[in-house]
Amino acid sequence: MKKFARRIFSAVLTFAIAAGLLPLRMENVLALTMTYEPSSYYRSSVYYSRLTGVTLTGNPKTDLVLVAASQVGYHEGNSRSELGGGNTSGTANYTEYAYWFGPRVRGDSNFWYAWCAMFISWCARQAGIPESMINNSSMATCSGNPSLSGSYAFHIEKKTKDTYTPQAGDIIFFSSSGTASGQHVGIVESVSGGYVHTIEGNASNQVLRRSYALTSSQIVYYGVMNGAGGGTALSYETTWDIGTYTVTASALNIRQYPTASSAKTGSYPNGSIVTIYEYLTDGSWGRTDDGWISMDYVSRRYETISINAQTYEKGAPITVYTGNTGNYPEAWIGLYRQGEVEDPYTAGGVEARVYEYVGSNSSVTFDSSSLTAGSYYVRAYCSGGLSAYVKISDPVFFTVTEGTQTYVRDADLYTISNVTAINVRAVPQTGAVVKTLDAGAVIPIYEICDLQVMGGTQRWGRTDGGWLAMVSSADLTTPYCVPYKKTISMSESYIQGSKLIVTAYDIVHPAYTGVWLGIYNAADSDRSEDVQGAVSVLWADAIADESGNAVMTFPNQNQSDKGISYVLPAGSYYARLFCTIGDDAYIALSDKLAFTVVSSANTAVVSSNAASYIKGETMKISYGGGSLTDTAWIGIYPISQNVYQAENPSLLWQYVSSAGG
């Protein structure tokens, strides 16, 4: 699978910009003026707009980075008419950088060659850096013979990678053949966490950001501009996490830097789909292909994917249900080993073990035969901007085991009991110990399996991080995991169209969040029992009051897509309380509570002969209609108790005739 920007990685970055930026040192601010007349094709491009929107600082290293960053995304073309950088399939080395370099440096108007070094030369000149600090060069060479037309080397100070820590604005030289000489060259944008982050021309035929471990064998040495000094780090950091977003503002400004006072370089109209690559660590700003935008005016586009099980025997097919991922460009599902790489943009990260392009509302199947026992996850991605690793779903985790066992989804909470501590293992019974849980801990169990052991069957459950024995191995009966359940109450029956009132008791606990109540058809399994179980007919968040209880009413608090005017049809149903742990929002927090809804067509009408009575006065009740039987009766209740409950019987009652009266 072709994935652009393979080296757009996850890392915490500190931008190396001149001291005092954000806010800018106004005494050093310089307007950028191009040093030549650009081609008409480039002048009409977005890259020209970005370049002329750059505010120079007077620090050569910083300004070199700023100019280079304005060109990220530029792609070489196949002819002069494509010097605007927009032909994403161009391969013939036609670039604005060669358009400038050829006639002005080489005296050759047809100098359409490999352009990584020409790009750096062009950036230096547009940044106002004199040739005495960094020479024009068409070669990836640090130093050389100045008599060779003056364009075969940068003539800058060479630094060995083993003894020098690069800075923003340095030049980085690469070799793909293991030689000590440079074959490719780029600009250092920043350094953090053992990685160097670069901007490179002629990287996959375009200007790209890339990242490398400082120990990478591809790096052969660095170059430092003559007398350039060093940039100093800004007081903010960013983190990589590529995602796709929808613009919610009527028009969203694009800024040169992540601050509202920074220069505006453009805007996105409402509804625009943008890819964001990195964010300020406080989440307030994000960087797109075009610059920085405020995160207050975008919403993330995420879809839900699921799998057909949570544990697989080695060799069993892994089916992934793709949801609406086909609405995204070049959507694909990747399978990774948990802990091996949490995020595919991390420097030194691995490719997906297997992947498959997908459409909407379909499924893909992976063969688990090549996987070893352990924990894995699948995730959906799509192409966006310069990356094919744009996240469009949360990860869905699963386990692969050896042997032949049956695994059943059974997502419930349990309390560790009858044991001082218990080991959690990577796989049931034989796996390495991952962690230990103490008595009294409240934990989720997501699925169970029954292992045949000496003397009978032992049940194991999968919790966060691995598996644990749910019963003692000594007698196979003493429970180590005791169900942790909360109580809900409601009436046993309702007339169609009447209000449903459900109370949940003592629902607050630090072991879980996101408590909610679902109403299901009686015949349906919910997703605590089956990962492909039914969706609730109605649902509402359970918001605890000061006592820790929550009262939910339907239709008032109905949060399904049916709206609050929806009337529950006559039939049999159950209510169940759930909570959220991690990415799983279907951890059962209560048992099922069954109830029925009776058709209003089969409901008797009851009326009294007065709205109020004097104590001792006779009350006359009339009744009729519905499907009355000889066992029908009428009860009188206090207004605070509008339905029959076993613990709160009627104050008065009397049998009635099936014929009415």
CATH numeric code, 235-300: 2.30.30.40
Residues 22 and 263 sit within 8 Å (Cβ to Cβ):
no
Query: What's residue 125's pLDDT?
Result: 96
Query: Identity (one letter) of the amino acid at 82?
Result: E
Residues 274 and 268 sit within 8 Å (Cβ to Cβ):
yes
CA distance to 53, 68, 167, 171, 357, per residue, from 188 (Å) = 21, 10, 7, 6, 34
| Whole-number Å distance between alpha carbons of 154 and 179 | 19
| Whole-number Å distance between alpha carbons of 265 and 267 | 7
Q: Over 231-257, what HEC string results?
A: CEEEEEEEEEEEEEEEECCCEEEEECC
Query: What's residue 453's pLDDT?
Result: 73
User: Taking the model in full, what pTM does it have?
Assistant: 0.43
Residues 436 and 500 sit within 8 Å (Cβ to Cβ):
no
| Whole-number Å distance between alpha carbons of 591 and 517 | 11
Provide the token pair at 256.
Answer: 């040169």
| Whole-number Å distance between alpha carbons of 60 and 120 | 13
The H or E element that residue 14 is part of is: strand 12-17
Query: What's residue 13's pLDDT?
Result: 34
Pick from 502, 650, 473: which is nearest to 590 by CA? Answer: 502
| Whole-number Å distance between alpha carbons of 385 and 275 | 6
What residues does 254 pair with on adjacent strands?
Answer: 266
HSE, CB side, 13 Å, CA atoms: give it for residue 621.
16
Strand residue runs (E) in 428-570: 433-438, 442-453, 456-463, 466-469, 481-483, 488-489, 493-495, 500-504, 513-521, 538-541, 550-554
* 267 alpha-carbon distance from chain centroid: 25
Residues 595 and 488 sit within 8 Å (Cβ to Cβ):
no
The H or E element that residue 287 is part of is: strand 285-287
Provide the token pair at 333.
Answer: 């599902």
CATH 3.90.1720.10 boundaries in the chain: 12-230
CA distance to 162, 525, 546, per residue, from 154 (Å) = 21, 70, 71
Architecture of the 407-483 domain: Roll (2.30)
| Whole-number Å distance between alpha carbons of 299 and 245 | 5
The H or E element that residue 317 is part of is: strand 317-321
Under-50 pLDDT residues of the chain: 1-28, 145-149, 231-236, 345-348
CB atoms within 10 A of CB 415: 16
CATH numeric code, 306-401: 2.60.40
3-state helix, strand, coil in the chain (%, to 5): 10, 40, 50
The torsion angle over the Cα atoms of residues 524, 528, 533 and 537, rounded to 10 degrees, is 60
Pick from 660, 548, 528, 542: which is nearest to 607 by CA? Answer: 660
Which residues, 6+ apart, have CB-to-CB distance to 380 below 8 Å? 303, 305, 322, 323, 325, 331, 332, 333, 358, 391, 392, 393
Angle, helices 116-126/60-69, rounded to nearest 10 degrees: 120
Q: Over 515-542, what HEC string results?
A: EEEEEEECCCCCCCCCCCCCCCCEEEEC
Provide the token pair at 84.
Answer: 């605007």
Phi, psi of 373 (to 5 degrees): -60, 135
Strand residue runs (E) in 41-86: 55-56
Provide the token pair at 211.
Answer: 């990242």
| Whole-number Å distance between alpha carbons of 528 and 586 | 5
What residues does 571 pair with on adjacent strands?
Answer: 597
CATH 2.30.30.40 boundaries in the chain: 235-300
Angle at 348 between CA 347 and CA 353, to 5 degrees: 120
How much is the CA Rg of the chain, to the nearest whole Å? 34
Tokens 């644990």 map to which residue? 468
CATH numeric code, 488-598: 2.60.40.10
Edge-first strand order for the sheet with 317-321 is 306-307, 317-321, 363-367
Query: Identity (one letter) of the amino acid at 512?
Result: Y
Peptide bond into 555 cis (omega under 30): yes
Query: What's residue 241's pLDDT?
Result: 67
Question: For residue 611, what is the DSSP state?
Answer: S
Provide the token pair at 269.
Answer: 């109209």
467 burial (CB, 10 Å; 0-12 / 13-18 / 19+) is buried
Angle at 207 between CA 9 and CA 42, to 5 degrees: 150
271 burial (CB, 10 Å; 0-12 / 13-18 / 19+) is exposed
Which residues, 6+ apart, have CB-to-CB distance to 658 below 8 Å? 628, 629, 630, 632
CATH number 3.65.10.10 is the correct assignment for the domain at 12-230: no
Pick from 248, 245, 69, 75: which is nearest to 169 by CA? Answer: 69
The torsion angle over the Cα atoms of residues 138, 144, 147 and 151, rounded to 10 degrees, is 10
